[in-house]
Structure 1
Amino acid sequence: MGAVMGTLSSLQTKQRRPSKGQLYVMDYITHQNKSDKIEDELEMATVCYRPEGLEQLESQTNFNKSELQVLYRGFKNECPSGVVNEDTFKQIYSQFFPHGDASMYAHYLFNAFDAAQSGSVKFEDFVAALSVLLRGTIHEKLRWAFNLYDINKDGNINKEEMMNIVKAIYDMMGKYTYPVVKEDAPKQHVEVFFQKMDKNKDGVVTLDEFIESCQEDDNIMRSLQLFENVM
């Protein structure tokens, strides 16, 4: 080891001093690296999204300032850029359901969180939805659930939309549920619920019909509370 270090020292002492041209090139490279670093920092500052003030979010949600700070730290830990796209959202969400396929339900859930339909979820979107799901009134939770089921956002829920959501939930829960779920369970579930909710039998469920049916039927409310656990 000493011989190697001695050889390196000898080579360093025998090197010629750099010429003026070499010094100019070295100075240019150093300056360019500094400029690149500054540009990278400016680019990161542009890319990274910063949420609204916590005071404003506190007035808009059911969380206090300290709770929002904890939520924001967790959000930034998973999403350093300050926003989350659908692919990242699916990856994070699927970790909670390792025995099933959560991809489709995560897709629908992402669209419900992305209120502006911008293709990304900001911290404000995330905390607003969480505020309703965890601490909202029954009416607020039902409105949020309706928006989730209303996949095409036309203000109504048709049977196909309800089937898509319910099937996605069953797929996410996987085959290792107890009691074991039959293959036709999602279809049976939708047939019963849709018949009760579509009060005027026009083939769609409106927001008013949805809220009224849920509040009238304890079985529907229990099912929604069960599904709320996977939201």
Structure 2
Amino acid sequence: MGNCTGSAMEELQACESHQWYRQFMTDYPSGLLTFYEFKLLFGLRNLSDTSNAYVETMFTTFDMDNDGFIDLMEYVAALSLVLKGGVQQKLRWNFKLYDVDRSGCIDREELLQIIKSIRALNGIPSKVSSEDFANMLFDKININGDGELSYAEFMEGGGGGGVQNDSMLLTTLTESLDLTHIVQKIQRDI
């Protein structure tokens, strides 16, 4: 990545941060990334209403201070999550993303909407319908049967069989955070 020299991990991280800063300020001189620019970054145009709502929800999860923009720190935090985040961090982000109404729980309709949107955006074919997948998730980890997944149920539901302990669910959910093509574009631009 760029012209960084130095062997220490701290130097590499500082160099990456500097390059991200330089690229961000080159691409967004105001220091703020708008929702429109966020969609352009992903190459997303002519989206259905459902897909656009999903992308807007994704934007909102990265806009940590809810000011309607992604600033440099939010941008670096998002890249760090994508590049270096652990499973727990990515699942926490997924939970926040899926909780569209910010109620602290994910209901069946929210989950179904997100699954449909992810499939539409990524073009990922699946043998299991969106409805069947959403129902399978709820049946598997909704411990108290209330039709909503709390964060604890999402992570640990079904007697320790939450998302992080189910390889198929984990793979499906973490694929929604696969922004490799965006990171590669950013690295090429640097």
State whether TM-score is above 0.5: yes
Cα displacement (A) at 1:99: 10
Per-residue deviation, 1:123: 1.1
Report what 1:41 is aligned to. Answer: none
Aligned to 1:80: 29
Aligned residues: 163
Are the counterparts in 2 of residues 105 and 172 from structure 1 also a CA contact under 8 Å?
no
Q: Give the corresponding residue for 1:199.
A: 143
Instruction: List gaps (5 residues or longer) in structure 1.
Output: 1-58
Shift of 1:119: 0.9
> Which residue number in structure 2 is paired with residue 21 of structure 1?
none
- Equivalence for 2:63: 114
Aligned to 2:134: 190
SS of the aligned residue for 1:228 comes to: coil
Matched, 1:124 2:73: yes
Counterpart position of 2:187: none
Listed one character per residue, the Cα deviations across residues 116-144 of structure 1 (whole Å, up to 9, x for unaligned) are 22111111112112222321222222111
Q: Who is 1:225 aligned against?
A: 174
The letter of the residue matching 1:198 is N
Per-residue CA distance 1:34-68 (angstroms, 9 max, x = gap): xxxxxxxxxxxxxxxxxxxxxxxxx9xxx711001
2:154 — aligned with what? 210
Aligned with 1:205: secondary structure? strand
Structure 1: distance between partners of 2:167 and 2:72: 34
Distance in structure 1 (CA, Å) of the matches to 2:178 and 2:73: 21
Bigger Cα Rg:
1
Instruction: Give the ranges of 4+ consecutive aligned residues of structure 1 lying more than 4 Å apart after TM superposition.
Output: 97-102
1:149–1:165 Cα contact (<8 Å) kept: yes
SS at match of 1:64: helix
Using the size of structure 1 for normalisation, the TM-score is: 0.63
Whether the 8 Å contact between 2:90 and 2:177 is mirrored in structure 1 is no
Mapped to 1, the partners of 2:56 and 2:171 lie a distance apart of 24
Partner of 2:39: 90
The alpha-carbon distance between structure 1 residues 173 and 137, as it changes in their structure 2 partners (threshold 3 A), is closer
What is the CA–CA distance in structure 1 between the aligned matches of 2:165 and 2:28, rounded to whole Å?
40
Percent identity between the aligned chains?
Answer: 30
> Where in structure 2 are there 5+ consecutive unaligned residues?
1-9, 157-161, 181-190
2:61 maps to a residue whose letter is A
Are 1:144 and 2:96 matched, yes or no? no
Alignment partner, residue 159 of structure 1: 108
Structure with bigger RCO (C-alpha 8 Å, 6+ apart): 2
Cα RMSD of the aligned pairs, angstroms, is 2.5
Asked whether the 8 Å contact 2:82–2:178 carries over to 1, the reply is no
Q: Read off the aligned partner of 1:189 and give its amino acid letter.
A: F
Aligned to 1:64: 13
Q: Distance in 2 between matches of 1:189 and 1:158?
A: 13
TM-score of the superposition, structure 2-length normalised?
0.75
Distance between the aligned counterparts of 1:227 and 1:181, measured in 2?
14
Structure 1 counterpart of 2:101, one-letter code? N
Distance 1:106 1:146 in 2: 15
Q: Which SS does the other structure have where 2:145 is aligned?
A: coil
